[in-house]
């Protein structure tokens, strides 16, 4: 790989290091144990990578074939505005996920899995750093009154609850969340990075290859433990059950789907050459990839439980259980993972606040739907503020006090003014502030 | 049936690769492949490719770019693992996988590509020869430690 590396100016670099002392305090431990867990892997470096030798021409949209932009002030103002929003959103997600992972990192059962997540967090820090590099290297005054310093300060001051995208405002309840988040939410990240690799803004495109390389490991950080847990569950281990994983999938997949933006949008980004796919197309590809992932995990479960089966026999059992919903050789649908329906538990986009169950069934009665959600979601999540807010807003929609579109737009963001309690690692929600979530202004266009 | 697409290896290909290996070797060894994939994802994910035919993986090739092996200081591309579905052989899938990897190695600055071939495996040596590989003066030596205990 041919790339150049660079550091952001010293005062911002120091600010990121200072930020990591609070939210990634174990980074020194990671570096100390690097050789043990990642022998022969290049040692971690906090810097920005810019790939060399990438395509010079705009690869999609109305300007296809023209030279890529190297400065934002050469772009059309609306185009630059969309780009800036995307960079800020990307930066927010990178720093935001570290804050989420830190909450439950210490609860991992296996040291190896813990260090995988720790490495992933360190690389997310680098990804956030990469976005700060983009913000600081260019002049954004055409589309923003904020200075680079203000933008960096704003991003580094965000906490869980004030991040731009919804998935990064939900607390983790256990290490199962660390793992399932990597498998599902980082997978959305992979799509976003892949799409941004063809960005009409060359510095953005050049930033993506190294981030994508690192993201491949982040997905494995989620998927590998899930496969191992499924095998252990098949052998009777009760530490992480299939039901635990299912509930975490139900918690995160709807938020992952919403990260693509409204299903009707994305055309503006395509037209401006910032991304090659509209929201619905990327979302559908992502959903099908999750279907494939869950099928693989189910196959691991079946073959661990009935080790005498051949591949073909195991595949037949899986198909039969999924088709008939009846147990086959002692394996029933409740033993296996299921991908919730694409419209399940949505609060953004076309299906927002429709009462759709995990199987795609529509509920007419709010109580019955809430009972269904209660059976489908982790209890720790249901007892949190995020779910409470959803339930209250759903009530207004059902009572006709609020239109679904308005509810989707007005979902209050949760602000945590007191931050994380360092001794207990618990979360204290101190107040809330309602604001229109501008998270999807980029991707919903 | 259309032509297979060559694309980068994804984490969700693990099940298909385990199944393909089982078809070829008769052994079910998910942990082995999980470790391999995880290794390559950390090292050089773009150097690992699969042949995808209508959503089914019918071939794979994995390797990485590294330097310093056996005193070879220059950055070298290594092709390390490959497999093609027996039912899909004869469609130049191995060649197309290799060409994709070679392109990646070239673009990444490698000046040479190396591999090790088990002479007991029929057709592998011929496959690499047909791609333009030739025997290297560096040969593999091995010793059975159990036998010399």
Q: Are B12 and A293 in contact (CB under 8 A)?
A: yes
Q: Is the pLDDT of residue A244 over 80?
A: yes
- What pairing do the DSSP bridges indicate for beta strands B76-84 and B56-66? antiparallel
Of the two residues A246 and A170, the one the predictor is more confident about is: A246
Look at the alpha carbons of A377, A379, A380, A385 in this order and tell me if their dihedral is positive or negative: positive
Distances (CA, A) of A173 to A186, A398, B15: 18, 29, 29
CB A115 within 8 A of CB A134: no
> Which residues from B are below 8 Å from A41, CB to CB?
42-43
The nearest CA of chain A is from the CA of B137 a distance in Å of 26
For the purposes of burial, counting CB atoms within 10 Å of the CB of B93, is it exposed (0-12), middle (13-18) or buried (19 or more)?
Answer: buried
Contact A355, A363 (CB under 8 A): yes
Half-sphere exposure of A91 (CA within 13 A, CB side): 25
Contact A125, A46 (CB under 8 A): yes
DSSP SS3 for A2 = coil
Closest by CA position to A313, among listed A294, A299, A327: A299
Nearest chain A residue to B108 by CA distance is A1
Q: Give pLDDT tens digits for A122-137.
A: 999 999 999 999 999 9
**What's the rounded Cα separation, in Å, for the pair A262 and A289?**
19
Q: Judge whether residue A436 has pLDDT over 50.
A: no
| Mean pLDDT for the stretch of residues A417-441 | 34
Summarize the confidence of residues B60-70 as an average pLDDT: 85
Instruction: Report residue A378 as tokens.
Output: 């982790």
Quote the CA–CA distance of B84 and B61 in Å, as a whole number. Answer: 9
DSSP state of A441: G
Secondary element (H or E) of residue A390: helix A385-398
Write the DSSP string, A406-429. HHHHHPPEEE-SS-B-TTT--B--
Q: Over the stretch A167-190, which tens digit does the pLDDT of each residue have?
A: 677 889 999 999 999 999 999 999
Lowest mean pLDDT among A116-125, A238-247, A265-274, A427-436: A427-436
More reliable by pLDDT, B73 or A22: A22
Copy the structure tokens of residue A55.
Answer: 């395509």
pLDDT band at A427 (very low <50, low <70, confident <90, very high): very low
The minimal CB distance from B15 to the residues A38, A220, A296 is found for: A296
Q: How many CA atoms lie within 13 A of A131 on its CB side?
A: 25
* pLDDT value, residue A165: 67
Buried b / exposed e along A138-174 (16+ C-beta atoms within 10 A): bebebbbebebeebbeebbebbbbbbbbbbbbbbbbb
Q: If DSSP codes are grouped into helix, strand and coil, which group holds residue A6?
A: strand
Tokens of B23: 């078809």
CB contact under 8 Å between B108 and A293, yes or no, is no
User: Cα A374 to the chain's mean position, in Å?
Assistant: 23
Confidence of residue A428 (pLDDT cuts 50, 70, 90): very low
Residue A42: predicted pLDDT: 87
Nearest partner of A388 among A365, A368, A414, judged by Cα: A414
The residues facing A413 across adjacent strands are A433
Cβ-based burial of B69 (10 A; exposed 0-12, middle 13-18, buried ≥19): exposed
The pLDDT tens digits of the residues spanning A332-373 come to 999 999 999 999 999 999 999 999 999 999 999 999 999 999
Q: What percent of chain A is modeled with pLDDT above 90?
A: 81
Tokens of A46: 């906090």
User: pLDDT category, B137, cuts 50, 70, 90?
Assistant: confident
Residue B33: alpha-carbon gap to chain centroid: 12
Helix (H, G, I), strand (E, B), or coil: what is residue B125? helix
Cβ pair B4, B58 in contact under 8 A: yes
Average pLDDT over residues A408-423: 47
Dihedral over Cα of A109, A113, A117, A118: its sign: positive
Interface test with A, best of B11, B26, B41 (most A CBs within 10 A): B11
Q: Hey, what are A277's tokens?
A: 């796919």
| Neighbour count for residue A287 (Cβ, 10 Å) | 16
- Enumerate the H helices of chain B as residue ranges: 14-25, 30-43, 93-107, 124-131
- How large is the average pLDDT for residues A246-273? 95
Query: Would the CB atoms of A41 and B41 count as touching at under 8 Å?
Result: no
Residues of A in contact with B28 (CB under 8 A): 303, 311
A43 interface with B at CB cutoff 8 Å? no
CA distance B79 to chain A (A): 17
Name the burial class of residue A323, with classes exposed (0-12), middle (13-18) and buried (19+) by CB atoms within 10 angstroms of its CB: exposed
What average pLDDT does chain A have?
89
**What are the C-alpha distances in Å from A190 to residues A14, A54, A254, B10, B11?**
28, 19, 17, 11, 11
Place of tokens 């800036």: A84
How large is the average pLDDT for residues A241-270?
95
Rounded to a whole number of angstroms, the CA Rg of chain B reads 16
pLDDT of residue A411: 62
Q: Name the interface residues of B facing A (CB cutoff 8 Å).
A: 10-12, 14-15, 19, 22-23, 28, 30, 34, 37-38, 41-46, 65, 107-109
Q: And the tokens for A165?
A: 């995208």
Residues B75, B65: Cα–Cα separation, whole Å = 7
Tokens (6 digits) for B114 = 């190396």
Nearest CB to A299; choose among B15, B34, B41: B15
* Residues comprising chain A, all counted: 445
CA-nearest of A403, A1, A434 to A211 is A1
For residue A292, the tally of other CB atoms under 10 A from its CB is 16
Task: State the Rg of chain A over Cα.
Answer: 22
């Amino acid at each position: 790989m041919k790339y150049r590396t660079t550091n952001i100016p010293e005062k911002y670099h120091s600010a990121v290091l200072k930020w990591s002392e609070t939210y990634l305090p174990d980074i020194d431990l990671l570096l100390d144990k690097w050789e043990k867990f990642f022998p022969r892997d290049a040692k971690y470096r906090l810097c920005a990578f810019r790939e060399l030798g990438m395509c010079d021409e705009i690869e999609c949209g109305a300007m296809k074939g023209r030279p890529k932009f190297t400065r934002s002030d050469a772009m059309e103002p609306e185009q630059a505005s969309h780009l800036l929003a995307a960079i800020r959103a990307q930066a927010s997600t990178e720093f935001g996920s570290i804050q989420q992972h830190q909450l439950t990192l210490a609860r991992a059962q296996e040291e190896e899995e813990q260090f995988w997540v720790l490495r992933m967090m360190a690389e997310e820090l680098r990804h956030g750093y990469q976005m700060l590099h983009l913000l600081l290297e260019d002049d954004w005054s055409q589309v923003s009154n904020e200075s680079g310093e203000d933008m960096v300060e704003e991003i580094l001051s965000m906490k869980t609850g004030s991040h731009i995208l919804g998935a990064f405002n939900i607390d983790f309840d256990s290490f199962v969340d660390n793992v399932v988040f990597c498998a599902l939410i980082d997978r959305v990240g992979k799509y976003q990075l892949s799409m941004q690799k063809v960005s009409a803004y060359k510095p953005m495109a050049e930033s993506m290859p190294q981030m994508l390389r690192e993201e491949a490991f982040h997905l494995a950080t989620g998927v590998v433990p899930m496969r191992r847990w499924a095998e252990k569950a098949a052998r009777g281990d009760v530490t992480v059950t299939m039901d635990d994983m299912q509930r975490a999938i139900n918690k995160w997949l709807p938020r992952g789907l919403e990260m693509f933006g409204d299903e009707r949008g994305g055309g503006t980004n395509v037209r401006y050459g910032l991304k090659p796919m509209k929201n619905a197309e990327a979302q559908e590809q992502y959903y099908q990839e999750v279907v494939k992932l869950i099928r693989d995990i189910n196959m691991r479960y079946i073959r661990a439980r009935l080790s005498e089966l051949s591949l073909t026999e195991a595949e037949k059992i899986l198909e039969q259980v999924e088709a008939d919903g009846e147990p086959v050789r002692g394996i029933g649908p409740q033993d296996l993972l299921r991908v919730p329906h694409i419209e399940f538990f949505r609060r953004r986009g076309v299906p927002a606040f429709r009462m759709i169950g995990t199987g795609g069934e529509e509920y007419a009665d709010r109580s019955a739907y809430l009972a269904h959600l209660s059976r489908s979601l982790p209890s720790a999540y249901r007892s949190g503020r995020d779910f409470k807010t959803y339930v209250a807003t759903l009530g207004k929609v059902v009572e006709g006090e609020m239109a679904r579109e308005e509810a989707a737009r007005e979902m209050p963001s949760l602000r945590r003014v007191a931050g994380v309690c360092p001794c207990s690692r618990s979360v204290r929600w101190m107040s809330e502030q309602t604001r229109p979530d501008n998270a999807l202004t980029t991707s919903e266009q | 049936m259309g032509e297979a697409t060559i694309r980068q290896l994804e984490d969700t290909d693990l099940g298909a690769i385990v199944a393909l290996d089982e078809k070829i070797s008769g052994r079910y060894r998910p942990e082995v492949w999980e470790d391999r994939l995880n290794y390559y994802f950390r090292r050089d994910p773009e150097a690992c490719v699969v042949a995808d035919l209508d959503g089914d993986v019918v071939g794979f090739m994995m390797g990485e770019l590294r330097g310093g092996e056996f005193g070879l200081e220059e950055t070298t591309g290594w092709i390390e693992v490959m497999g093609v579905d027996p039912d899909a052989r004869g469609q130049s899938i191995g060649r197309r996988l290799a060409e994709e990897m070679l392109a990646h190695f070239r673009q990444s600055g490698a000046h040479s590509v190396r591999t090790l071939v088990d002479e007991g495996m029929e057709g592998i040596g011929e496959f690499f020869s047909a791609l333009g590989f030739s025997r290297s003066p560096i040969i593999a030596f091995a010793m059975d430690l159990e036998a010399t205990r």
